[in-house]
Structure 1
Amino acid sequence: MKALLSLLPLALSGALLTAPEAAAQTPNLPAVKTTSFRADTLSILKYGAVADGQTLNTEAFRKAIDACSQAGGGVVLVPRGLWLTGPIVLKNNVNLHLAKGALVQFSANRNDYPLIKTNWEGLDAVRNLSPLYGTDLENIGITGQGTFDGAGDAWRPVKKSKLNETQWDKLVSSGGALNAKKDTWYPSEQSLKASTADKPGVLTATKTDIKDFADVKDFLRPNMLSLTRCKRVLLEGFTIQNSPAWTIHPLLCDDIIIRGVTAKNPWYGQNTDALDLESCRNGIVEDCVFDVGDDGICIKSGRDEQGRKRGVPTENFLFRNDKVYHAHGGFVIGSEMSGGARNLYVQNCTFMGTDVGLRFKTARGRGGVVENIFVDGVDMTDIAGQAILFDMYYAAKDPVPLKGESTAPPEMKAEPLGEGTPQFRSFFIKNVTCKGAETAILVRGLPEMAIKDISIENAVLESDKGMVCQEAENIRLKNVTILSKETKPVLEIQNARDITLDNIRYANGAEVLMRVSGDRTKNVKVSNTNTKNAKKDVEMGANAPKKAVSISKS
């Protein structure tokens, strides 16, 4: 064994027998069960792999992984070099290790990826097989300092508005097809045709077989790393980039450690979330760097009726020391959260240039309960939308509207409560800074279901607009500084109740500190706040009860 260890990269030799132990536990989180791999090592070279960037090494990967698993597990080593391959299917007790300088380039030939039954955006669906795939496995790892490239440009549509003129002309001249408006490019005519169909990849009562989806195959982009019903998973050290769709997608997995992973996708890459944890339990995500075209760290648990029927929340995760660049959201829950989410801790994370910082989104029909979310230590810069967002009106739009798109929320009236009514409650957020955002805080619940029990403490938020709080209950801000350019008003409260504002600071000379409206607004309390810094402390808007606001003079 010692001889084998001496031949392996230093980073690997220290982690073969037992994966690094879970870091010090945050209160109320169970210990994460860790992986353990035999030291036995098989190189893909032994099975005929050729690092010339031309030879398709799919069979070499398959044979090496099968042999390793059948022998009781161990390490499959990918040496330095450029390795072209089709899908890689993982097996029990195998650690796929990429040596420093190893580049695994997945094939751009869509025919190399067979259609399979799987799940997409929380619904049972047919998609192309993921480049990295595993299902019903235990004790698996992907480690090392190498890189996986998913050849995503062969799969993804691209909006004209997201490229400059030169980039767009080059893309169109490369082939593919344009839609009727000529504002979206598709990789093939089949992909374009499928884009106009209703839920083209979703399994239905009349479309139950894989062959029913052959005519839309090009459109059914795979997630790049897909793990389903796996236990004890270690993802560590590697770079994963250029994904066709979601980048890392564990579904119904338990005991996951994701450490030091870098996910990179072009900012125009639609649906290229970095990490989507869906109906997973117990894990740590730390020291990761994500720079993608959609959400960064995203929590999901199924969509609508199917998600509620599955009924498995994502729970018991710690996220710490992670960095997110240029994503739609830094840390995100939803919108497919119908199975719920709970007991999630976010610590010491940095979001730079994301559309939204902390992004919690849902919509009518989802159902599900999101609760017990703890955020302590988030720093943000250049946030294009909201620094902190709770939104139950999510309508599958980009959080930052493109030119010409409406920015107004939809007109919505109260509807009867039911299993499709979502709930957000018990969020505890503290020690947050943001230098530059469009809006500091937006809380927007439903008329029939308020967003409840939100605490934001010790925050400094620099933004164009201040806080908007609609259809909310028991919202507490303490020691919060909102430095907004728009000061008429700094704080907007509509149809909200039991709002506590304690030691709120804002720019001197504000026109209006707070505007209150809505006949259901009540019990808004302001304390330890210098209201004299504003020309007007409270402006009563339409239908606001006269006694809705009380101010304790400091």
Structure 2
Amino acid sequence: MQWHAVNITATTITIELENESCYFSDQTYNLYVNDLLMYSVTTNVFTISNLKANQEYKIKLVTEDNTSENVQILCTHSESAVLNIRDFGAVGDGEHSDTGAIQAAISVAPKGARVVVPKGVYRCTAIFLKSHITLDLEEGAVLLGNCKREDYPILPSKVHNTDRNESYCLSFWEGEPAEAYASLITGIDLENVQVVGTGTIDANAGAGDWWVDCKTKRGAWRPRTIYLVNCKNVIVKGVQIKNSPSWTIHPVRCQQIQFINISIENPKDSPNTDGINPESCNDVEILGVNFSLGDDCVAIKSGKYAVRPSVVIPSENIKIRNCLMKYGHGAVVIGSEMSGGVKNVCVEKCFFMNTDRGIRIKTRRGRGSTAIVDSIYVKNIKMDGVLTPFTINSFYFCDSDGKTEYVWSKEKLPKDERTPLIGALTFENIHCINTEVCAGFMYGLPEEKIRSLSFSNIHINYKEDAQADYPEMLSFQDKLVRSGFIFKNILKLRLNNVSLVNPLGEALQLENIEDYLVE
């Protein structure tokens, strides 16, 4: 039995078990801290909280039958100061507005300090973080979003830098600069920031009108719950986040960011409440996150073609591991706003449960020639109740022009600067049960075929009473039920040890495949 520390702060240690199981541990372990039994461990990633700064701790994991143990000595980090928001006037009764007190504590915190939110319900609007601090939500602490949109400041889409005669983008909405309400937790141009603890960030969207007429811009576009722009070295760990007005966590143009062992919960019918949407970000780790929401669990993006006058920025070097994805439209999604491209993504040891789709790539003509999806690697995944486990849709019909013939035409059109490209994707060791719609729906453009698809050790078992539905969102597509793999417009396709149990109809439907091998 092996384990390692994946993250240490002044008050927390997060551990990851080394095994081949998906999200849940292969067996139950007892956790001891300084020889005191703390609790039983049932997931591969877990966090020990409420520790003291700059102290050594003896961490021991023991199998439930006491046949194996692993002990390590770890030291928490130091901190410069501790500030309690109640000392700044925060009330925490759920009625009083505590925005000013929380903001004051953050504003005066020295470099390396920890701002503590103790037990209580703190009603607030947008809180703006600053660099080199930790925001610590203790057990029983709730940051509760004010439900009145007029109480939130508005972030303009851009501000002008007179020295450089250029614009600085502050606010984005669905891949383009656009004014939006500031988010409950907002960070602009930050570095070395941590949001940790066992408390809750409740944006309280259902108590207001954020989910009403949600596609209409009223005053400004909806806020996120956590919104980060041009930030570096940010960690969000341990907290529960719920009831987001729109995308829950939205980092834009950020580097070296980690989301570790958090829980994200939004109602299944809440609109556009994606879990974590890194946009034009580099070096992202999403580890041990429990998702249950109304849209995509993780959606990797990189903007739309309209932002091309500025420098396009890809999303790349993204690791998603040991996560549980429930009830979303897609578990791990790329696109459809991906004009900067998405590269080097690794998804492993995750459990997808009752999502509409598992691994989902969505793009379309008009995203641009820089919209390159490449080097996507997915391995050791379990899926249960996922309607369609694998999809690539090059005809995604959302956006104002999404139903135009240019987007929906299945004819071979001329390639130009608007044509996206899908490169190499590899899938291995994936087990799916209770599949309903389609094993895989992989549909490239005829003028720019998917470069390479590799499937190895894939098992699909269908639900007996499966219901027909659409495998993807594209024009003129019929509903399917217990369909096999559908592959269209692909340069290179490799299938090794791929099995389907009781599909209706053909296991493989192939169209316009240049190089095809089944092993």
- Deviation per CA, 1:25-51, whole angstroms, max 9, x where unpaired? xxxxxxxxxx97724110001100001
Deviation at 1:14, TM superposition (A): 5.7
Q: Which moved more, 1:228-237 or 1:297-306?
A: 297-306
Question: What CA RMSD, in Å, does the superposition of the two structures yield over aligned residues?
Answer: 2.4
Contact kept, 8 Å, 1:390 with 1:443, in 2: the verdict is yes
Q: What's the TM-score, normalizing by structure 1?
A: 0.71
Q: Do the aligned partners of residues 462 and 85 (structure 1) sit closer, same or farther apart at CA in structure 2, a change above 3 Å counting?
A: same
The within-5 A match list for 1:125-204 is: 125-154=178-207, 186=213, 195=216, 200=217
Q: Which residue of the other structure, out of 401, 414, 417, is the alignment partner of 2:415? A: 417
Deviation at 1:363, TM superposition (A): 0.8
Contact kept, 8 Å, 1:276 with 1:299, in 2: the verdict is yes
Deviation at 1:290, TM superposition (A): 0.6
Contact kept, 8 Å, 2:352 with 2:382, in 1: the verdict is yes
Identity of aligned residues (%): 33
**Which residue identity is paired with 1:345?**
C
Distance in 1 separating the partners of 2:55 and 2:415: 52
Deviation at 1:410, TM superposition (A): 4.2
Q: Does 1:104 align with 2:107?
A: no
Larger radius of gyration: 1
Q: Do the aligned partners of residues 82 and 318 (structure 1) sit closer, same or farther apart at CA in structure 2, a change above 3 Å counting?
A: same
Q: Does 1:465 align with 2:483?
A: yes
**In structure 1, the residue corresponding to 2:498 is in which secondary structure?**
strand
Distance in 1 separating the partners of 2:409 and 2:376: 29
Q: 1:26 maps to what in 2?
A: none
Q: 1:393 maps to what in 2?
A: 395
**In structure 2, the residue corresponding to 1:276 is in which secondary structure?**
coil
**In structure 2, the residue corresponding to 1:45 is in which secondary structure?**
helix
**In structure 2, the residue corresponding to 1:285 is in which secondary structure?**
strand
Q: 2:376 maps to what in 1?
A: 373
**In structure 2, the residue corresponding to 1:222 is in which secondary structure?**
coil
Distance in 2 separating the partners of 1:146 and 1:394: 38
**Which residue identity is paired with 1:270?**
P
Q: 2:449 maps to what in 1?
A: 450
Q: Does 1:55 align with 2:96?
A: yes
Q: 1:121 maps to what in 2?
A: 174
- Deviation per CA, 1:49-103, whole angstroms, max 9, x where unpaired? 00111110000011000011xx223100000111111111100111111001111
Q: Does 1:480 align with 2:478?
A: no
Q: Does 1:267 align with 2:265?
A: no
Q: 5+ residue gaps in structure 1?
A: 19-34, 159-184, 201-215, 398-408, 503-554
Distance in 2 separating the partners of 1:17 and 1:500: 57
**Which residue identity is paired with 1:456?**
F
Give the structure with the higher percent helix: 1
Q: Which residue of the other structure, out of 38, 51, 56, is the alignment partner of 1:13? A: 51
Q: 1:431 maps to what in 2?
A: 429
Contact kept, 8 Å, 2:11 with 2:53, in 1: the verdict is no
Distance in 1 separating the partners of 2:412 and 2:77: 53
Q: Does 1:501 align with 2:518?
A: yes
Q: Do the aligned partners of residues 323 and 307 (structure 1) sit closer, same or farther apart at CA in structure 2, a change above 3 Å counting?
A: farther
Q: Which moved more, 1:417-426 or 1:138-147?
A: 417-426
Contact kept, 8 Å, 2:148 with 2:208, in 1: the verdict is no
Distance in 2 separating the partners of 1:252 and 1:480: 38
Q: 1:550 maps to what in 2?
A: none
**Which residue identity is paired with 1:485?**
P
**In structure 2, the residue corresponding to 1:278 is in which secondary structure?**
coil
Q: 1:440 maps to what in 2?
A: 439
Contact kept, 8 Å, 2:183 with 2:227, in 1: the verdict is yes
Distance in 2 separating the partners of 1:485 and 1:388: 15
Distance in 1 separating the partners of 2:138 and 2:439: 43
Distance in 2 separating the partners of 1:157 and 1:50: 26
Contact kept, 8 Å, 1:122 with 1:307, in 2: the verdict is no
Q: Do the aligned partners of residues 356 and 5 (structure 1) sit closer, same or farther apart at CA in structure 2, a change above 3 Å counting?
A: closer
Q: 2:87 maps to what in 1?
A: 46
Q: 1:313 maps to what in 2?
A: 314
Deviation at 1:391, TM superposition (A): 1.0
- Deviation per CA, 1:495-540, whole angstroms, max 9, x where unpaired? 22212122xxxxxxxxxxxxxxxxxxxxxxxxxxxxxxxxxxxxxx
Which 4+ stretches in 1 moved above 4 angstroms? Answer: 14-18, 154-158
Deviation at 1:155, TM superposition (A): 5.4
Distance in 1 separating the partners of 2:102 and 2:191: 19
Contact kept, 8 Å, 2:124 with 2:146, in 1: the verdict is yes
**In structure 2, the residue corresponding to 1:46 is in which secondary structure?**
helix
Contact kept, 8 Å, 1:466 with 1:483, in 2: the verdict is no
Q: Do the aligned partners of residues 240 and 15 (structure 1) sit closer, same or farther apart at CA in structure 2, a change above 3 Å counting?
A: farther
**Which residue identity is paired with 1:88?**
I
Q: Do the aligned partners of residues 84 and 229 (structure 1) sit closer, same or farther apart at CA in structure 2, a change above 3 Å counting?
A: same
Q: Do the aligned partners of residues 16 and 103 (structure 1) sit closer, same or farther apart at CA in structure 2, a change above 3 Å counting?
A: farther
Q: Do the aligned partners of residues 144 and 328 (structure 1) sit closer, same or farther apart at CA in structure 2, a change above 3 Å counting?
A: same
Q: Which residue of the other structure, out of 110, 113, 133, is the alignment partner of 1:74? A: 113
Give the structure with the higher percent strand: 2
- Deviation per CA, 1:219-240, whole angstroms, max 9, x where unpaired? 6211111000001101100001
